[in-house]
Chain A
Amino acid sequence: MGCGVTKQNQKQIKKAMRAALLIQRWYRQYVARLEMRRRCTWNIFQSMEYAGEQNQIKLYKFFSYLMDHFTPASSERNLIAHIFRENEVCRDAEWERYFNYKNIEVPEFYSGPHLNFPLTATNATELVEAFRTKQQLHSRYVLQLLVETWKLLRILPNINHVSTCHSKEITICGDLHGHLEDLLLVFYKNGLPSMETPYVFNGDFVDRGKNSMEILLILFAFLLVYPNDVHLNRGNHEDHIVNLRYGFTKEVLGKYRVHGKKILKLLQKIYSWLPLASVIDQKVLILHGGISDTTDLDIIAKVDRHRVRHLWPGKQRMLISLALFLQVVDMLWSDPMPIDGCVPNEVRGGGCYWGPDITREVLEKHNLQLLIRSHECKQEGYEFCHNRKVLTIFSASNYYEVGSNRGAYIRLGPDLVPHLIQYQASRSTRDLTLRQRYGVGRTERSALRALREQLFAHKSDLISAFQEFDPEQTGLISLNHWATAMESVLQLGLPWRMLRSQLVNHTQDGKLNYQSWFKELAIMEPNTQLAHTNLLETLYKHHSNLETIFRIIDTDNSGLISFEEFRQTWRLLSSHLQIDISDEAISDLAQSIDFNKDGSIDINEFMEAFRLVDRTQQERSNSTLSGVHPHLLQSEHPTKTLLVSASPHFV
C-alpha cells in the first residue's frame, strides 16, 4: 500500500514540474513580446520626435536663406524679418517702462493667489498650492514676478558655482516640459526648495506640456526667495522661436489674452539672461545639452550670454563672434554618442554628437569628475554613458504618452555620488498592471495612431512606391516589398517587419492589397470643407510648419491672420517645399476655412480642422470589452506605480 501511494505521488510531482515549466516558458515568452512592443512603441515616438525637429530646422534654414538672398523690398522677407531683428536698441530702463505692470488692476473678483514683493517663502509655497488646485496667476503678478526675475538674472554669472558645504545634498532635475504634475511630485518626494534643500533645474522648463507658464512662475518664485540655493540652467527650449512650434507661445496667448504679448517679450529677455551651466564643488558640471571638442569653461564664463538670443544655427546678424556663439549652442543642443570623435548633430541641426574621448578631455581639462546633462528622454528617467562619466537626467514622466517613460531626479551629497530617484506621475491609485508597466495599450495605441497619421500624410508617395513593386498593376504587393517601400518613403528607421502585425490586418495569400489597406487604416478625413484632396494631404503633411509660419506672421499675437497673410504664408511654404500650388486653389482654401466668415482666419480653428479622428480607436475599445471576464478587465486609466502616491498637499 505504501509503495503504490509513493509512486502515485512521484508521478504527480513530475507532472506538476512539467506543468510549471510549461507555464513559465509561456509566460516568459509573453513578457518578452510585451517588451518588444514597448521598445517598438518607444522607437516610433523617438523617430517621430526627431523627424519633427528636422522639419523645424529645415524651415528655419529656409528663412535664413530668404533673409540672405531676397531683396529688402521682397514682401516675403518682410513677413519674417522681425524674428531676426536685433532690437536691443532700447535701454533697460525703457524696457522696464514698457513692461510696467503697475497700471494693471487686479479686480475684486480675482480669486487666485496674490503676491507681495519682495517675495517670501510663504508666497512661493502658496503659489505652488494655488497651481496645484488649478488656479491661474493674474497677469499683473506675472509681469511683476518676471520683471524681478529679469533684474536678478542680469547680475548672475554665466556659470553657477554651487557647493555642498554644510553637508547639504543638492537635488538636480532635468527637462520638465510643462509637466506640472511631475514638478509637484518631485517637491512632494523631495521637499520644496529651501536653504536646506537646494536645487538645480537643468533647462527645458517649457513647451509640449500644458503648464509651462506655471512651472516657470514656480521656479522663478523660488529663485527670487532663495537666490543662493536655487539654480537654473538654460535649455534649448528657452528660445522664443522654438516656443512658436512646440506650444508654449500658444499656451501663454491662450491663458493671457490681453497681456500675453508683453509676457512673451519679457520672457525672451529672461531666456537670454538664464545662466548656461552650474558646477558643484568644482567637480560636477551640469548643463542642458552637452559639450563639444571646443568647450572651454573659462571662455564660457566670460561670454556675453544675453547676446545669444535664439539658439538656432544659421546666419544671423550677430553681436557675438561665431566661435563663441557655437560654443553656447553646443552646450544646449549636443548629444553624446558611443564612438570617439565630435561630429555635427544632423538630427537636431544644432550642437554636435560628442564621444567618450571628448568627455575625458573636457573633464580632465577642468579637473571635473562627472558631467550631468538632460535634453534626451530616457525610458527610466536617467541613463549613464561614457563609462559612467556622463549622466542624462530627464524629469518629465509620460513624456510621449501616459506610460511611455519614468521621470527621475538626482540627489548629490558631499561625496558627489549621484543617487537616482524615479517616479511616474499618475492620476488614480491602483497599482500599474503588467500591460501598463510595459506601456502596452494606451501608449502603444497612441504611437500607432501617430504613425498612421504619417501614413496618411504620405499617401501619394507611398502608393507610388507600392506601384513600383507592382508593375503588372495587380493591386497586390508582397509584405517584404511593403516593408521596403515604407522605409524608403517615410525614412523613420523603424523596424517595419516587427510593426507589421499592428499595421496590416488582412492579406491575400501573403500579399497586401495596398489601396484597400489605406481604406482600412480608417482614418477619418478632417473637416470636409477642406475638400481639395491633394491639397489636403499637403496641408496635413506640413501642418506643423504652417502653424509655425502663421505664428511668426501673426505679429500682434492676435491668433488671427488675414486672407492676404494666408496667401503669403502659402507662397512661403510652397517655395520652401518647392511644390506648386495655384493661387486659385489657395484662395478657395482661404475662403473655405474662414470659419467666422469675417475675412480673417483663426489659427487655432484652422489647426483644429487637422485633428484626425481615429475610428479604429472606437472599434477597438468595443472589442476589448467583449469576451473578457469583467474582473480581469484592465482599465486604461493611468495608475499609481509602486513608487509614488497620489497628489500631495502643501501647507
Chain B
Amino acid sequence: MAEDRENAEAIISEVHKKISDAFDVFDHERNKTVDVREIGTIIRSLGCFPTEGELQEFITEIEEEEATGYIRFERFLPTMTKLLMERKFRPIPEDLLLQAFEVLDQEKKGHLGTEELTKYMTQDGEPFTQEEMEEMLSAAADPDKNVIFYKDFVSMLTVDDK
C-alpha cells in the first residue's frame, strides 16, 4: 500500500517537473509568469491536442480575476497536472488524420488543391488565420503543381514528431 502511494507521489512529482520545465522555457522574466498568448504552445508541447475553444476555457479558468495578460505558475500547475493525469486530450492517430483528409477529398483524387484546402481551413471548424494558412501551405503544398498530397504530408509531419 505504502509502495503504491510512493509510486503515485513519484509520478506526480515527475509530472510537476515536466510542466515546470515547459513553463520555464517561456518565462522570459524569470518570475514564474508567462504571456497568456504562449499558454497554447506550452499545453500543446506537453502532448495535449485541445481545440481553440477548449484552450480558451482553460485560460479563463487560470487567469487572474483582472486579466493582466500574464499567467502565474501557481495557477497553471494544478490545472495542467489534472489535464495530464486525466489524459484529457489524447493524441490523434495517423489513420484518423488521413481519414479526415479523405473526407475533404470528395472526388477521391488522392490530393487536394490549395484553394480547396484553404477554403476548408479558413471557413470551417475553428478557422485558420491567413498566417496559419500560408504556413501550412508552405509545408504541405507541392510548389510546382499547387496541390497537397495529403498522405505524404501526414506521414512527413508524423515522422518529424517525436
Which A residues contact B (CB, under 8 angstroms)? 12, 15-33, 35-36, 39-40, 43, 338-339, 430-435, 437, 479-480, 483, 495-498, 501-502, 627-629, 631-632
With A495-B25, A497-B17, A629-B152 known as contacts, the answer to whether A20 contacts B139 (CB < 8 A) is no
Do B92 and A21 touch (CB < 8 A)? no
Do B139 and A32 touch (CB < 8 A)? no
C-alpha gap A627/B162 in the complex (Å)? 16
Residues from chain B with a CB closer than 8 A to the CB of A19 are: 99-101, 103-104, 120
Do A16 and B157 touch (CB < 8 A)? no
Most buried by B among A18, A19, A36, A501: A19
Give, as a whole number of angstroms, the nearest-CB distance from B13 to chain A: 8
Do A433 and B45 touch (CB < 8 A)? no
Residues from chain B with a CB closer than 8 A to the CB of A18 are: 100, 103, 125
B58 at the interface (CB under 8 A from A): no
Most buried by A among B42, B44, B48, B104: B44
Residue of B nearest to A432 (CB): B138
C-alpha gap A29/B50 in the complex (Å)? 8
Residue of A nearest to B26 (CB): A39
B83 at the interface (CB under 8 A from A): no
Do B25 and A29 touch (CB < 8 A)? no
Q: Total number of A-B contacts with CB less than 8 angstroms?
A: 141
Give, as a whole number of angstroms, the nearest-CB distance from A121 to chain B: 41
With A20-B121, A32-B41, A628-B159 known as contacts, the answer to whether A25 contacts B29 (CB < 8 A) is no
Do A16 and B24 touch (CB < 8 A)? no
Residue of A nearest to B55 (CB): A28
Do A28 and B44 touch (CB < 8 A)? yes
Do A17 and B156 touch (CB < 8 A)? no
By secondary structure, the B interface counts as: helix
Do A36 and B22 touch (CB < 8 A)? yes
List B124-162 residues whose CB lies under 8 Å from chain A: 124-128, 132, 135-136, 138-139, 142-144, 149, 152-153, 155-157, 159-162
Do A24 and B126 touch (CB < 8 A)? yes
B40 at the interface (CB under 8 A from A): yes
Give, as a whole number of angstroms, the nearest-CB distance from B156 to chain A: 6
Give, as a whole number of angstroms, the nearest-CB distance from A5 to chain B: 15
With A26-B92, A28-B40, A28-B44 known as contacts, the answer to whether A36 contacts B25 (CB < 8 A) is yes
B79 at the interface (CB under 8 A from A): no
Do A33 and B21 touch (CB < 8 A)? no
B8 at the interface (CB under 8 A from A): no
Please name 29 pairs of A and B residues whose Cβ atoms are closer than 8 Å in the assembled complex, sorted by A.
Answer: A16-B120, A17-B124, A17-B125, A18-B125, A19-B120, A20-B104, A21-B126, A22-B96, A22-B125, A24-B51, A24-B52, A24-B125, A24-B128, A25-B92, A31-B135, A33-B45, A33-B161, A36-B41, A433-B138, A435-B139, A480-B14, A483-B17, A495-B22, A495-B24, A497-B18, A497-B22, A498-B25, A502-B162, A628-B156
B49 at the interface (CB under 8 A from A): yes
Give, as a whole number of angstroms, the nearest-CB distance from B47 to chain A: 9
B31 at the interface (CB under 8 A from A): yes
C-alpha gap A17/B124 in the complex (Å)? 6
Give, as a whole number of angstroms, the nearest-CB distance from A119 to chain B: 45
Give, as a whole number of angstroms, the nearest-CB distance from A555 to chain B: 43
Residue of B nearest to A23 (CB): B100
Most buried by A among B149, B153, B160: B160
Residue of A nearest to B128 (CB): A24
Give, as a whole number of angstroms, the nearest-CB distance from A73 to chain B: 48
Most buried by B among A495, A496, A627: A495
Residue of B nearest to A40 (CB): B25
With A33-B161, A39-B25, A628-B156 known as contacts, the answer to whether A25 contacts B103 (CB < 8 A) is no
Do B138 and A431 touch (CB < 8 A)? yes
C-alpha gap A269/B133 in the complex (Å)? 54
Do B45 and A32 touch (CB < 8 A)? yes
Q: Which listed residue (B41, B99, B103, B138) contacts A434, Cβ 8 A?
A: B138
Residues from chain B with a CB closer than 8 A to the CB of A501 are: 162
C-alpha gap A35/B39 in the complex (Å)? 12
With A23-B100, A30-B157 known as contacts, the answer to whether A498 contacts B126 (CB < 8 A) is no
Give, as a whole number of angstroms, the nearest-CB distance from B19 to chain A: 9
Apart from A19-B103, A632-B149: 11 A-B pairs, beta carbons within 8 A: A16-B103, A19-B101, A20-B104, A21-B51, A23-B104, A24-B51, A24-B52, A28-B40, A432-B138, A435-B139, A497-B21
Residues from chain B with a CB closer than 8 A to the CB of A32 are: 40-45
Do A434 and B96 touch (CB < 8 A)? no
